[in-house]
C-alpha cells in the first residue's frame, strides 16, 4: 500500500478490514510517532509510551473486522489510545510517586534542549525558561485525568474541540467547558510565569 496518500484514513482502515496487510502497515507508519508522543505525555515514560502505542495498534488490528467508517479514523484511534491511557494511569497510580521531568527533553515549543545554551539568550533567561517549562509540565501532569487528556489532545496533538469531544464522548460544549476549566486552573497556578 505504498502511496496511500490518495485514500482517507477511513478508506485505508476499510482495506485493513478486507485483509490488506500493507494498509495496516501504512497506518502504523503514519500514526506511530503521534501516538507515542500522546502516550508519553500521558505516562511520562518513553518505554511505557512505546508499549502503550503498540497496544493501541494491536487493538486496532484485532478490531479490524468490526470497524465501521462512521466516525473519523483519528477519533476512533484516539478513543482507543485514551482508554488505554486512562487504564494505565489507574493501574499504576500507586507506582507513580512524584512526576519527574528530564532537563534533557526538548522543549515542545522551541524544539531545543533546555540545558544547552542558546546564543541569543542569557543564562538567566535560559534558567527562567527552564523553570517555566518544568512548572507547566508539572501543573499539566497534576490536572484531573480528563482535563489533562483534553489539554494534551488540544495543545500537543492539535485536535479541535469536535475531535476531542468525540474521543472523550462528550458534547462539544462540555469539551469546551472542560478545557476552559483546565486552562483556568493552569493560568491561576502559573500566573507567576505569565
Range of lowest pLDDT (10-19, 36-45, 97-106)? 97-106
Reply yes or no on whether the pLDDT at 110 is more than 80: no
Q: Which residue has the higher pLDDT, 156 or 120?
A: 156
Which pLDDT does position 138 carry in this prediction? 84
Residue linked to cell 496487510 = 21
**pLDDT average, residue stretch 148-161:** 89
Residue 64: pLDDT band by 50, 70, 90 thresholds?
very high
Which pLDDT does position 111 carry in this prediction? 53
Q: What percent of the chain has pLDDT over 90?
A: 45
Range of lowest pLDDT (2-6, 120-124, 125-129)? 2-6
Q: Which helix (H) or strand (E) holds 164?
A: helix 161-168
Reply yes or no on whether the pLDDT at 177 is more than 60: yes
Reply yes or no on whether the pLDDT at 104 is more than 50: no
Looking at every residue in the chain, the average pLDDT score rounds to 82
79 to 105, 153, 163, 187: CA distances (angstroms)? 27, 11, 10, 27
Collect contacts of 13-16 with beta carbons under 8 A, ≥24 apart: 13/60, 13/64, 13/67, 13/69, 13/73, 14/67, 14/69, 16/60, 16/61, 16/64, 16/67
pTM higher than 0.75: no
Domains parsed from the chain with CATH numbers? 1-97 (1.10.1740.10)
Residue 171, judged by CB atoms within 10 A of its CB (0-12, 13-18, 19+), counts as: exposed
Amino acid at each position: 500500500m505504498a502511496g496511500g496518500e490518495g485514500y482517507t484514513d477511513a478508506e485505508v482502515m476499510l482495506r485493513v478490514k478486507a485483509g490488506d496487510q500493507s494498509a495496516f502497515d501504512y497506518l502504523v507508519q503514519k500514526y506511530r510517532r503521534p501516538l507515542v508522543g500522546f502516550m508519553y505525555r500521558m505516562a511520562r515514560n518513553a518505554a511505557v509510551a512505546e508499549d502503550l502505542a503498540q497496544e493501541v495498534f494491536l487493538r486496532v488490528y484485532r478490531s479490524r473486522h468490526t470497524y465501521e467508517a462512521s466516525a473519523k479514523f483519528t477519533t476512533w484511534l484516539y478513543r482507543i489510545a485514551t482508554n488505554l491511557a486512562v487504564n494505565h494511569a489507574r493501574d499504576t497510580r500507586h507506582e507513580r510517586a512524584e512526576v519527574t521531568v528530564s532537563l534533557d527533553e526538548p522543549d515542545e515549543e522551541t524544539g531545543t534542549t533546555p540545558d544547552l545554551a542558546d546564543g541569543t539568550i542569557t543564562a538567566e533567561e535560559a534558567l527562567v525558561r527552564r523553570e517555566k517549562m518544568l512548572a507547566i509540565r508539572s501543573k499539566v501532569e497534576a490536572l484531573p485525568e480528563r482535563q489533562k487528556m483534553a489539554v494534551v489532545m488540544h495543545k500537543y496533538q492539535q485536535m479541535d474541540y469536535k475531535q476531542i469531544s468525540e474521543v472523550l464522548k462528550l458534547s462539544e460544549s462540555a469539551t469546551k467547558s472542560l478545557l476552559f476549566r483546565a486552562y483556568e486552573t493552569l493560568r491561576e497556578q502559573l500566573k507567576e510565569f505569565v
